Amino acid sequence: MMNYDRLKIQFPLCLCTDINKELFENIIEGNYCVSKTILDELIGVNSIQLNCDKDLFIFDVTGAFNAEKGSLGLINQNNILTVLEKVKNLRFVDFNPKEVIEQAKVFLCDITQDITVNSDIETILFGLKERLQINSGKYYIKKYENSGISVAPIAKSKKENLIIYPKYHQLRKAKQKQLREIIGYEYLSQCKNILRFELQLKSYKEIRHYFKLEKNQEIMLKDLLMSSENPLITKLAELGICEDNMDE
């Protein structure tokens, strides 16, 4: 089952009722965004917009928005209705989540897999970085925050990025205090051996490529959630990494 740590979704504004326009700021004529002041109070919400020119409601959320005790909240086909209910319950607009699933499209996504490892995570990351160097002619292999690794194509036309990092280190940051309280400190301790793999697809072209969609095919939320393709595994295989490379 595909898991996502980030989804930026759009759906027709005609599916929305009771639009709370006083909570939006008019950034450009006909386009409204929820202010940063409000967003800063909402864990896991990057943006909420009304595009009146194109008649779209747009929101960008992460797994943290869906987190609960004992869960980091990765988004998938089993909990997407819950995620949409939570967006609805923010009361910026009202909508029917089941109708939205049928018509929603995806702007960008972060496909995510958390792997529990038995060996020292730092040792595993060092080994992965060594193996990844064979791809240095096509990719920038850089240090990522929390002792992680970032693998980004050198070609500017490719809008994707693979990051690999120890989730526990990220959760220990001061700005993650609210998330720690939500998931619970008992579960936090269980995250010490979690190595996160995240493929960030930042354009329609990359999403269509990895999900094997036709050129110009609409990128529907329900299709991505139900897809039998696994872009993350595909990317790792391209880079010469497989589960046998790691001690699980």
The stretch 178-195 carries a mean pLDDT of 97
* Residue for token pair 């064979």: 134
If you average pLDDT over residues 29-39, what whole number do you get? Answer: 87
Residue 136 pLDDT:
86
Query: What does residue 148 show for φ and ψ, rounded to 5 degrees?
Result: -90, -175
Tokens representing 208? 């269509």
The tokens 């049928």 sit on which residue?
Answer: 102
How confident is the prediction for the chain on average, in pLDDT?
Answer: 94
Least confident span in 55-64, 138-147, 173-182, 215-224: 138-147
Report the distance separating Cα 115 and Cα 194, nearest Å: 5
pLDDT at 247 over 70: no
- B/e letters for 225-240, b = 16+ CB within 10 Å, e = fewer, are bebeebbbbbbbeebe
Give me the pLDDT at residue 248, please.
42
pLDDT digits (tens, 9 = 90+) for 80-101: 999 999 999 999 999 999 999 9
Give the model's pLDDT for residue 244: 54
Note the Cα 247 to chain centre separation in Å: 25
Rounded Cα distance between 79 and 217, Å, is: 25
Helix intervals (H) in the chain: 36-39, 80-88, 97-103, 121-132, 167-171, 177-183, 185-190, 204-210, 221-226, 231-238
Give the three-state DSSP class for 36.
helix
The answer to whether residue 243 scores a pLDDT higher than 90 is no
**Predicted pLDDT at 90:** 96
Residue 48 has pLDDT above 90, yes or no: yes
Predicted pLDDT of residue 123: 94
Share of the chain above pLDDT 90, in %: 84
In angstroms, the Cα distances linking 45 to 61, 99, 125 are 5, 22, 29
pLDDT at residue 229 greater than cutoff 60? yes
116 forms bridges with which residues in the sheet?
194
pLDDT surpassing 70 at residue 231: yes
Distances (CA, A) of 158 to 102, 112, 139: 29, 19, 11
Which pLDDT does position 242 carry in this prediction? 74
pLDDT in tens, 98-140: 999 999 999 999 999 999 999 899 999 999 999 998 888 999 9
| CA 33 vs CA 20, 39, 49, 81, 87: distances in Å | 11, 10, 4, 23, 15
- Residue 200's pLDDT is 98
- The dihedral region occupied by 27, where left means phi > 0, alpha psi between -120 and 50, and beta the remainder, is alpha
Which among 76, 56, 55, 54 has a CA at the least distance from the CA of 66?
76
Average pLDDT rounded to a whole number, residues 195-206? 97
